[in-house]
Structure 1
Amino acid sequence: MYDYLYIDIDLQDNITDNIQKIFLENNIKFKFVAEIDSVLKNILFLTSNKNKITENCRTIFLLDRDYDLLDCKGSYYIKNIEDIVKIYNKDIIVEWAAEIQFLAQNTLAYSKDKFDLERAERLREISCEMLSYKYKTNSETIKHIFANEVGYQTPKLENRAAIIKDNKILLVKEKSDNRWALPGGYQDVNKSIKDNVIKECGEEAGAVVKPIKIVSLLDYNKHHNYNFPLGMLKIIVLCEYISHDFKYNIETEDSNFFDFHNLPELSTTRTTFEQIQMCFDCYNNLDNWEVIFD
């Protein structure tokens, strides 16, 4: 978590009363400055001026156009000021550990120098030890979850199915938290997106479906309160309903259709209200729907 947010004084008009309320609710301390002229530790600086991006602290760049991110190397970038909340509350140790693991794994994948390989292996161990210390979990458990892959480090991939019938959406009740979510899960090896969606719907909801359209391709960490250290991409797929017959399984304990205005308690690490709304918007505007992606 960062200690303070400095905001470019040129953005003063952008910090509305509503934004200030959000900052207050999330304990974000902020002040306006003209520039950052010295090295500051654990400070964020928000600007929309590329010429003010600085190495003196961590910069957040407010995008005007998507492709502006090409000029933001080494900086965070956001489209909406309220997105600062997630960055401000980020755990820096987890972020450092993830970057160390990323660099170490790529070195292990591509270097031929034995000394580089030894150093990379030790850096990978350090990244696991950092998380072990933070979460009070043994490093072998952390390594299994966090550093057990080979090759270039990439984010995980999850897909979820939007199955709508008679203006109601099919949800499954998760055994892990007794809350409801769109059926889906991690992308399996050697399966296409379509195949994986069909499989997950069958396993979790007992549903037979035909995937017909991508609703969205989202950066999971931007839309959920839980953060994957190495990131995850989330694909939501609109499916044509054929039939369903729920059967006992190890992940879910029920499946049912729900009206948009009468949704059950959601398993928000899997599915949010905004994502369900997005699914209905796509369903009701199928021919003109443009995929939403981060």
Structure 2
Amino acid sequence: MKNSTQQLTLLISQLQAIAQSGKFYTKDVYDKERYEQLEEVSKKLVAQLTTATPEQLQLFFDQDTGYVTPKVDVRAVTFKNDKILLVQEKSTQTWSIPGGWADIGYSASEIAVKETQEEAGIKVEPKRLIAVYDMAKHQYHKQSFNYIYKLFFECVPENTPIHSGVETSNVAFFSLEEALKLKLSLNRNLPADLRMVFKCRQTQHWETKFD
């Protein structure tokens, strides 16, 4: 069950999406003014819940135009000798499955390849889609007011050495037991995610999980 802050965050995100989409599509000048007022209310609510500066709030609210859609976070699940590849973030010193935001011009599987090479220095080939999750329906420690879908791809690594990247300080392969003892980046992956991907690894005919 979500706590009150998570529920309020989701409601504010929905409010902001209604305001932004309404501003874009309405042809009525008075309706546009009302949607702008609604957006201002959303900004004030966000300001009450976060330590974001006015400039950061403006950037968040102005980053998209038109109809608001979810952002996509892609994770590349890579195994070697039945151990999973994890990277340690420089900024937080927490561990996560390699991945990041989907970029324009790349397919989701191409993002899995790109992020793994950037964060772990290794080339991989996506094999199958493990899961598509709605982040709001799970217990992630959300750090953004964006609405987010998470995609997990199982990938096969090339026989090349791993090394840290610009945003990572350490890279290694771990058993499930070892991984669960790490300080995980809980906005990127949960212990339940690790258990799920290891189960997928042991299952030949895996059915993609989705919300």
Question: If the length of structure 2 is used for normalisation, what is the TM-score?
Answer: 0.89
User: Residue 56 of structure 2 aligns with which residue?
Assistant: 141
Shift of 1:108: 1.7
**Percentage of identical aligned residues:** 31
Structure 2 vs 1, CA of residues 284 and 136 (structure 1 numbering), >3 Å: closer, same or farther? closer
- SS of equivalent residue, structure 1 residue 105: helix
User: Residue 290 of structure 1 aligns with which residue?
Assistant: 207
1:179 lines up with 2:97 in the alignment = no
In the alignment, residue 37 of structure 2 is paired with which amino acid?
R
User: Residue 281 of structure 1 aligns with which residue?
Assistant: 199
1:125 lines up with 2:40 in the alignment = yes
Structure 2 vs 1, CA of residues 248 and 258 (structure 1 numbering), >3 Å: closer, same or farther? closer
Structure 2 vs 1, CA of residues 117 and 270 (structure 1 numbering), >3 Å: closer, same or farther? same
Q: Is the contact made by 2:87 and 2:96 (CA closer than 8 Å) also made in structure 1?
A: yes
Shift of 1:147: 4.3
Q: For the residues of structure 2 that align with 1:136 and 1:258, how far apart are their CA atoms?
A: 35
User: Residue 152 of structure 1 aligns with which residue?
Assistant: 67
Q: Is the contact made by 2:118 and 2:166 (CA closer than 8 Å) also made in structure 1?
A: no
Q: For the residues of structure 2 that align with 1:211 and 1:109, how far apart are their CA atoms?
A: 37
Q: For the residues of structure 2 that align with 1:208 and 1:193, how far apart are their CA atoms?
A: 15
Shift of 1:144: 1.1
- SS of equivalent residue, structure 2 residue 43: helix
1:234 lines up with 2:157 in the alignment = no
Q: Is the contact made by 2:127 and 2:154 (CA closer than 8 Å) also made in structure 1?
A: yes
Choose which of 175, 178, 182 in structure 2 pairs with 1:259. 175
Q: For the residues of structure 2 that align with 1:89 and 1:129, how far apart are their CA atoms?
A: 18
Q: For the residues of structure 2 that align with 1:202 and 1:114, how far apart are their CA atoms?
A: 49
Q: Is the contact made by 1:205 and 1:244 (CA closer than 8 Å) also made in structure 2?
A: no
Shift of 1:91: 5.1
Q: For the residues of structure 2 that align with 1:186 and 1:91, how far apart are their CA atoms?
A: 21
Structure 2 vs 1, CA of residues 275 and 241 (structure 1 numbering), >3 Å: closer, same or farther? same
Unpaired segments of 5 or more residues in structure 1? 1-84
Q: For the residues of structure 2 that align with 1:273 and 1:96, how far apart are their CA atoms?
A: 26
User: Residue 118 of structure 2 aligns with which residue?
Assistant: 203
Q: For the residues of structure 2 that align with 1:95 and 1:184, how far apart are their CA atoms?
A: 23
Choose which of 157, 161, 165 in structure 2 pairs with 1:249. 165
Q: Is the contact made by 2:73 and 2:99 (CA closer than 8 Å) also made in structure 1?
A: yes
Q: For the residues of structure 2 that align with 1:181 and 1:265, how far apart are their CA atoms?
A: 9
Q: For the residues of structure 2 that align with 1:247 and 1:257, how far apart are their CA atoms?
A: 11
Shift of 1:221: 2.3
Q: Is the contact made by 1:246 and 1:254 (CA closer than 8 Å) also made in structure 2?
A: no
Choose which of 129, 134, 149 in structure 2 pairs with 1:219. 134
Q: For the residues of structure 2 that align with 1:210 and 1:92, how far apart are their CA atoms?
A: 37
Q: Is the contact made by 2:121 and 2:165 (CA closer than 8 Å) also made in structure 1?
A: no
Unpaired segments of 5 or more residues in structure 2? none
Q: Is the contact made by 1:185 and 1:200 (CA closer than 8 Å) also made in structure 2?
A: yes
Shift of 1:90: 3.7
- SS of equivalent residue, structure 2 residue 92: coil
Question: If the length of structure 1 is used for normalisation, what is the TM-score?
Answer: 0.66
Higher relative contact order (CA 8 A, sep 6+): 2
Structure 2 vs 1, CA of residues 163 and 106 (structure 1 numbering), >3 Å: closer, same or farther? same
Q: For the residues of structure 1 that align with 2:160 and 2:133, how far apart are their CA atoms?
A: 27
